[in-house]
Structure 1
């Protein structure tokens, strides 16, 4: 168990760095600075906790009893709460003054005696997780779109609840055994998140749009939806707006004389897809034509020509939509395959 815990602790730290870089490079235009800060802070806290776990399990240094560890334990749940709230309730544009109340748990790290601090931290964490579960219930109408992702993230959620319950009963497991289990649970959660993002790279943007539809009334009452969709198709086919890597929901909405909420709802309700998914599909369709019609063009040049900012993004999107890599698609459907 200790070896597995050490391996997953190292994996968690690596994933935290990778996800932080991904957040900083995000160019979707959907993440707000406050949410991004909370997301980065959550990753830093989880990496710090895993570093402390590895130190204790490998070098027998009792880091979990140090005050900084306890502080991180209390801080990770509120930070994740504030990040998730921005994702699940996208209409809220700015943090509110009463958000300062979420700093109160940090005081417990200094005021409570050591033997009471850990179970209290996990009790608070369980409360935040229950809030998250309640928010996710609001996305029930969208569950068909996120069936696999909900299953993976739901498993991570159950792991977190199990650890929180175990942490509230400090006598249930020896400290070192519990630390190993906690490290394994965090590592498994990172693995599930990474798997989910690999399956659906633009999941964050799509969940934001789904949440937006769940929390607001229709914005399309005075919109000619058929005309708007026809205009959208024309813009994509004749002007190829999707080749712009910086194309954003607000920019496209402005071209259609719609608000961002209207365009998002139009795509979700009439086409059954998010803005991010719609643009990716437009780019992949164009890429498929180029791969077959221009056999001498490199895969990288094709991806860049249709609007992807990096080769990795092109490969992820192509595999997500077509179930194969661009190179494999060219072999199956290109000029050589037709001879």
Structure 2
């Protein structure tokens, strides 16, 4: 069993080096990749480096090299958070974000002076007096609280992103990677918490497996990222920043909003912009000649829908009209829905049932 675990650590370490080489050394790939994911993979590699050196015996079984891996401990949380912010909320990487890493510098200085520089005799004396155990509890607890805080912040960023989808986009995008990514990190945090509490209470099982579980968790995270990097590399690409709206808020009067509503309805009927499967609110606002905040106000105050609901309302109307033509004999329901502007079967079914009150099959059975 131990040999298998060690092989997993080796495999994950070299997989991390391979990913860093592919994305970091290639100028083309480096421009496409989100910089924070490269930092995250590098941190995972550092987290495994000490373990690899110790397992190979290249450092004469000096366990201090395992402690060397602790340098990455307080770097994980900020990197996960900044990656989530950059990828989901379109906030590009910046050197100004470096302050998130300042606590890690202080933490690593403490690790060096507390665990690495003291002689073996000093460490043995501390262990005998219980001081070393208290130091471990302190440092591990700080790392746990720090990373948990940043993980919670990352989850909140993900939730904020999900909320903004319906106000900016007329289609749903896949967020499965980010959900699985945050769940995997949360699983590691939970494991860390359980091991920490078990260690405090002196449970023998936790003392024996603590390092194994930590390194296995790191190894699995690297493999998780590697699989997605191969299957869907676009998930790691840099998202261009959102252009700032021209106006901070709408200045239209009530009468002007009523007139604008009529113009919008005429636009939807004449040009059918909703047929664009990836229509954005900013694009519709440009067609109408207003800013995105002004369009948002119009939809909210005069129509009572958000952008996602409004566009799909017109798509459902288009679908029903198409279903009455000869095209309905040639295409499935989803085929017709795609011609009406939908790009997701799930989104189509949900929108149809919400607007019409029945599923497409139930509706057309009733019509016929």
- TM-score range normalised by the length of the shorter chain: 0.5 to 0.7
Please tell me whether the aligned partners of residues 48 and 215 of structure 2 are also in contact (alpha carbons under 8 angstroms).
Answer: yes
**Residue 102 (structure 2) aligns with:** 103
**1:149 maps onto 2:181 in alignment:** no
After superposition, residues 317-332 of structure 1 pair within 5 angstroms as: none
How far the C-alpha of 1:154 sits from its partner, in A, is 4.3
Task: Decide which moves more: 7-16 or 141-150.
Answer: 141-150
**1:188 maps onto 2:220 in alignment:** yes
Shift in CA distance, 22/86, structure 1 to aligned 2, threshold 3 Å: farther
In structure 1, the gaps of 5 or more residues are 231-261, 263-268, 273-339
After superposition, residues 65-84 of structure 1 pair within 5 angstroms as: 66=67, 68-84=68-84
After superposition, residues 138-217 of structure 1 pair within 5 angstroms as: 138-140=160-162, 145-146=173-174, 148-150=176-178, 152-166=180-194, 168-169=196-197, 170-171=199-200, 174-205=206-237, 208=239
Pick the aligned partner of 2:51 from 53, 58, 61.
53
Once residues 190 and 145 of structure 1 are traced to their aligned partners in structure 2, the CA distance between those partners, rounded to angstroms, is 24
Shift in CA distance, 195/40, structure 1 to aligned 2, threshold 3 Å: closer
Shift in CA distance, 70/204, structure 1 to aligned 2, threshold 3 Å: closer
**1:123 maps onto 2:145 in alignment:** yes
Please tell me whether the aligned partners of residues 8 and 183 of structure 1 are also in contact (alpha carbons under 8 angstroms).
Answer: no
Count of aligned residue pairs for this structure pair = 233
How far the C-alpha of 1:185 sits from its partner, in A, is 0.9
Once residues 218 and 166 of structure 1 are traced to their aligned partners in structure 2, the CA distance between those partners, rounded to angstroms, is 50
Cα RMSD between the aligned structures? 4.8
After superposition, residues 311-322 of structure 1 pair within 5 angstroms as: none
Superposition TM-score, scaled by structure 2 size: 0.49
How far the C-alpha of 1:202 sits from its partner, in A, is 0.9
How far the C-alpha of 1:43 sits from its partner, in A, is 2.2
Once residues 188 and 218 of structure 1 are traced to their aligned partners in structure 2, the CA distance between those partners, rounded to angstroms, is 45
In structure 2, the gaps of 5 or more residues are 115-134, 166-170, 248-259, 261-266, 276-291, 293-307, 313-368
**Residue 63 (structure 2) aligns with:** 62
Once residues 21 and 126 of structure 1 are traced to their aligned partners in structure 2, the CA distance between those partners, rounded to angstroms, is 30
How far the C-alpha of 1:203 sits from its partner, in A, is 1.3
Please tell me whether the aligned partners of residues 43 and 72 of structure 2 are also in contact (alpha carbons under 8 angstroms).
Answer: yes
How far the C-alpha of 1:150 sits from its partner, in A, is 4.4
Shift in CA distance, 93/148, structure 1 to aligned 2, threshold 3 Å: closer
**Residue 159 (structure 2) aligns with:** 137
Please tell me whether the aligned partners of residues 41 and 222 of structure 2 are also in contact (alpha carbons under 8 angstroms).
Answer: no
How far the C-alpha of 1:204 sits from its partner, in A, is 2.5
Shift in CA distance, 132/100, structure 1 to aligned 2, threshold 3 Å: same
**Secondary structure in 2 aligned to 1:146?**
coil
Once residues 130 and 174 of structure 1 are traced to their aligned partners in structure 2, the CA distance between those partners, rounded to angstroms, is 25
How far the C-alpha of 1:107 sits from its partner, in A, is 0.5
**Residue 328 (structure 2) aligns with:** none
Once residues 65 and 140 of structure 2 are traced to their aligned partners in structure 1, the CA distance between those partners, rounded to angstroms, is 9
Once residues 212 and 246 of structure 2 are traced to their aligned partners in structure 1, the CA distance between those partners, rounded to angstroms, is 49
